[in-house]
Amino acid sequence: MDEHKKYTSANRAAWDVSAPLHEVGETWQRLLAEVAKADFSTFDETLWETLADVGVAGKRVVQVCCNNGREVLSLSAMGAKTVLGIDQSDAFLAQARKLAHLSGRKCDFLCADIYELPEDIPGDFDLGLITIGVLNWMPDLKRFFDAVSGLLARDGMLVIYEIHPFLEMFDPSAADPFSPSQSYFDRGPHANEDTITYDGSDGGQGPVSWWFSYTMGEIVSAAVAAGLKLECLKEYPHSNRETEFDIYEDRKAQIPMCYTLVLRKER
């Protein structure tokens, strides 16, 4: 088996097991209640403003690793002409289609490994979106950005809103959570046998999944090598990941916790 396929297949199995945990509770019920609203959005202020500056209305948009489609539907509510959500988890895409049906919005979803996209998928999207916790699941950053770049039209834009790689150095559950527990240059892979959750809850043991760490230089360089021109990089001191990382916010010596990266396809 291809080395990358070993990791992506394992991660797909882990996400499929995780999916039922995300279809219960207050967050899911809130999605069901609000998804049909004209102003529906699950974007925080940082991402909403970044997308508004780039422009969404009237554009053909693709989201890579769209999970349960809540952000695909948020893009549609912002006025996107069409939106395609790509994810390799059938279980999460089943939730996405359920939310899309309730919303009344026309969105498309594709179940596919980003490294093995169908040959007939369009390569003319005006805007691509990658959000929280996508890059660290990818065993090969260069191939990933090559695939994403291939989805965009010339002059198409890519917006990334991600966990800052500096934050990967810290473990909020450690005895001393404010001392680095991992080298900034530790690439991984890191095996995880806990069921994936977003809210910090204990989902119990699940299929092994694999997490990779990349420096900011590696992320930007891989994107540029794929024909994407850097338009804007902004770093922020707030957390956009699991709630246990909130302890690093609002400190006197503040660390970078997340970032937005805006790129344009040149070729």
The tens digit of pLDDT for each residue in 69-119 reads 999 999 999 999 999 999 999 999 999 999 999 999 999 999 999 999 999
CB 195 within 8 A of CB 21: yes
Of 92, 91, 127, 86, the closest CA to residue 107 belongs to 86
pLDDT confidence band for 196 (50 / 70 / 90): low
- Three-state secondary-structure class, residue 220: helix
- Distance (Å, rounded) from C-alpha 187 to C-alpha 27? 33
Q: How far is CA 86 from CA 32, 101, 107, 137, 164, in A?
A: 21, 17, 11, 15, 23
CB 237 within 8 A of CB 211: no
Give percent helix, percent strand, percent coil of the chain, each to the nearest 5. Answer: 35, 25, 40
CB 58 within 8 A of CB 82: no
CB 79 within 8 A of CB 57: yes
DSSP state for residue 216 in the 8-state scheme:
H
**Domains of the chain with bracketed CATH:** 3-265 (3.40.50.150)
pLDDT confidence band for 139 (50 / 70 / 90): very high
pLDDT value at residue 194: 76
CB 159 within 8 A of CB 129: yes
pLDDT value at residue 266: 92
Q: How many Cα atoms occupy the beta-carbon half-sphere of 133 within 13 Å?
A: 13
* Residue 203 confidence (pLDDT) above 80: no
Q: Is the pTM of this model over 0.85?
A: yes
Q: What is the mean pLDDT of residues 121-146?
A: 96
